[in-house]
Homo-oligomer: A and B are copies of this chain.
Amino acid sequence: MGLLVVGSIALDTVETPFDRIDNALGGSAVYVSLAASYFSGPVYMVGVVGEDFGKEHIALLEDHHVDIEGLQVVNGAKTFRWSGKYHYDLNVRDTLITELNVFESFNPIIPDNYKKARFVLLGNIDPTLQLRVLEQMENPKFVVCDTMNFWIEGKKNELLEVLKKVTVLIINDSEARLLANEPNLIRAARLIRALGPKYLIIKKGEHGALLFGENIVFSAPAYPLENIYDPTGAGDTFAGGFIGYIHKTQDISIENLKRAVVFGSAMASFCVEKFSTKGLENLTYLQVHDRFREFLKLSKFDDED
């Protein structure tokens, strides 16, 4: 049984201090699916594109065993486009253009073949759509959800409905503070978990990630990268690696969730080393696992004798 991924599919124009790329493949569903594809197939991707969506992008997804039965292609319309510019400090970016296009009227329709999927990844889209996805699923066992400031501020009630149904919420530190209205992340995590999610992952970019559960906090380091070319998609890639690893192992114990956080971090580190999805296109599982081992070395210390 496959892993269901729902999210945005985009053509991104990205400028960094180093380079610029136009109309490159992007979007949360794409980054999640490519990252998850390294762990186990098939990935069931649900999303929408316009008729301008290149055949080479479809081919890339299919090469990675991403099932595109749930991909809606709208004729006479354009794919969602996003354009952003990163500054010298890559933690700061400006969104230049957001053209919703086909995404504006997106209604996620889950093919019958996908409805039995037990593992579900709700990418960062309107919580109303996330709810509509869950309503179509027969018996999802492990639901991972991403969201952002825009929905926390603009669709709080709908988001709270989603949170009642998710197993793991993945957000970044500023989103956690906003959602909980609490500056201390540890207290914020407790407040957010009380809204529904059994687990909360707080992504902290170059500072790693925190996993919170009942009476447990796990702190994963970030990979020490000297050269970050394009941070676009890092958060989605983290989520894809995280759920991909859990889907592969079918093990939802806390110890395995910790490993999944590290696999997510490893995938994100590959993502940001190249432009657009390039860092996720030609990896081997051996490379992924080697990087996982580097995270072990990075954070391991021993007790005194």
Contact = CB atoms under 8 A, between A and B. Distances in A.
A299 interface: yes
Contacts of A217: 224, 298
Copies in the complex: 2
Contacts of A111: none
Interface stretch (A95-103, A123-131, A136-144, A202-210): A202-210
Contacts of A204: 207
Nearest to A301: B258
Interface in A198-252: 204, 206-208, 210, 217-222, 224-228
A43 B244 CA distance: 52
B302 A255 contact: yes
A226 B90 CA distance: 30
Contacts of A300: 300
A56 interface: no
Interface stretch (A62-70, A164-172, A179-187, A276-284): A179-187
A219 B262 CA distance: 13
A303 interface: yes
Interface in A8-32: none
Contacts of A220: 299, 301
B183 A259 contact: no
A188 to B, nearest CB: 10
B293 A186 contact: no
Contacts of A258: 301
A302 B88 contact: no
B259 A301 contact: yes
A265 to B, nearest CB: 11
Given A185-B206, A186-B225, A208-B207, A298 B219 contact: yes
8 contacts: A184-B225, A184-B227, A185-B224, A208-B208, A208-B219, A219-B224, A220-B301, A259-B302
Interface of A: 88-90, 183-187, 190, 204, 206-208, 210, 217-222, 224-228, 255, 258-259, 261-262, 292-293, 296, 298-304
The 8 closest A-B pairs by CB, nearest first: A219-B221, A207-B207, A258-B301, A186-B224, A89-B183, A186-B226, A217-B224, A299-B299
